[in-house]
Amino acid sequence: MKAIVCTKYGPPEVLQLQEVEKPTPKDKQLLVRVYATAVNSADWRLRAAIPSVVRLFFGLTKPRQPILGGAFAGIVEQIGKAVDQFKPGDKVFGMTGMSVGTYAEYVCVFQDGCVAVMPQNIDYAASASVPFGATTALHFLKKVKLVRGEKLLVYGASGAVGSAAVQFARHIDSEVTAVCNSANLPWVQELGAERVIDYHREDFTKNDAKYDVVFETVNKLPYAHCKKLLKRGGRLILGSAGFADMLKGVWGSASSSSQILTGVAQETQEDVRFVRELIEQGAYVPIIDKTYLLPEMAEAHRYVQQGHKKGNVVVYID
């Protein structure tokens, strides 16, 4: 099968199109023919080994699993003998988590993993664009127990995670303030933000406004500024924090009334099923910035690494 192989850690050019062996599903696995995947911040950071601690978990000089990619949408081609939740021909979408492997024509996923039948009203590309941002946003918003009427500030609201957070918060009637650049303000407001702020034109960190929850999705707003925006007893989500800010978060939770959450999001089947329901109800809209073909994977990574994508970047496998 065709796959994009990460030959070593480094710039986008380390991603090479190669022929590799087609995987065989284990007893509780599905073999999915992948039609679309997505490129997200987690993907390029793993490719580049940023932060360097990535090497401890994925391999010192190159990834032990050389086929990267976490999001997928495709058709179940084959099932293991113990699979009873899916059947060949099912259109599915989801995430592979730490197992990665979706930059390929085929991937094996466990039936009880982060996989569900695709929404009936969107295609493969839109389905592949959803899981990363949606499951990450859901993981953290559930952790902080965001509820109706609370004030949420989303920094990086036009990215994959930020645009998902805006939509989930709108769904439960929280009051959302979205921060992004001017070009993205109109469509982010259409997603459900009650107030939008262009960070180029307004230093919102100097305003008197305080929030129940601050969701920093892109690791660009300084930790001290995030803390300053919180109400007493507020909750801060560092959704893309570096190691230093993770340590600050641990200390901040222990030494103040604020709750500070960081770390790696855990994707679940429950989450993708929930998102599917919202999409089919018209309550969640997939956002696609650009699309690429499989041989253009390095270019897709280069674009995403610039840090200015709107929503998601999708790569067609076939």
What is the Cβ-side half-sphere exposure of residue 217, based on CA atoms within 13 angstroms? 32
State pLDDT tens for residues 3-57.
999 999 999 999 999 999 999 999 999 999 999 999 999 999 999 999 888 898 8
Rounded Cα distance between 32 and 111, Å, is: 11
For the chain, domains (ranges, CATH) are: 2-130+286-316 (3.90.180.10), 133-261 (3.40.50.720)
Rounded Cα distance between 5 and 18, Å, is: 7
H or E stretch covering 179: strand 175-180
Beta strand extents in 20-146 (DSSP E only): 29-39, 71-79, 91-95, 106-110, 115-117
State pLDDT tens for residues 259-268.
888 888 999 9
Model pTM score: 0.94
Tokens 């999915």 found at: 32
Token output for 3: 């796959």
State pLDDT tens for residues 126-179.
999 999 999 999 999 999 999 999 999 999 999 999 999 999 999 999 999 999
